[in-house]
Amino acid sequence: MSANFLTLNPSKTEFLIIGLPHQLSKLSFPTFRLPNNVTLSPVDSARNLGVILDKNLSYAHISSVSKLCFVNIRDLRRIRNMIDHTTASTIATSLIHSKIDYSNSLLLNLPATQINRFQLVLNSATRAVTRTLKFHHTTPILKSL
């Protein structure tokens, strides 16, 4: 890096060691030493392009996106009586679907339990847009949308 006149900013540079908890427990305080007496220690989680990765890959990104989407759905339900179906659908698409679709390549080969968390968000958004009751089946509604 120094040949290209580049340096790292130690206050903004972080690295993540990913593994299972029993694998990570075998490491004794790993550090990364750089020239100019700069030492970096691993972090527990890191955000890159809005995606949160943690050291155990416990899908913190899915949790944070789901929480944010449910907040948006609650707000959509509050204003739903004042807007028409097309506007509600546009709001749901722009606020909720876009967050779920962003970085969807990370969702490849995830366990079904993690994918189902996003499906619950989509079902809730569908119910908010169509004013359907909580216990109605959403598959026919999703097909109609």
* DSSP secondary structure of 65-106: HHHHHHHHHHHHHHHGGGS-HHHHHHHHIIIIIHHHHTTGGG
Residues in CB range of 136: below 8 A, 6 or more apart: 127
> d(Cα 14, Cα 42) in Å, to the nearest integer?
7
pTM of the entire predicted model: 0.70
111-123 pLDDT per residue, tens: 888 889 888 999 9
> d(Cα 23, Cα 145) in Å, to the nearest integer?
46
16-58 pLDDT per residue, tens: 888 888 888 888 777 877 777 777 778 888 877 777 777 777 7
The C-alpha angle 111, 116, 122, rounded to 5 degrees, equals: 145
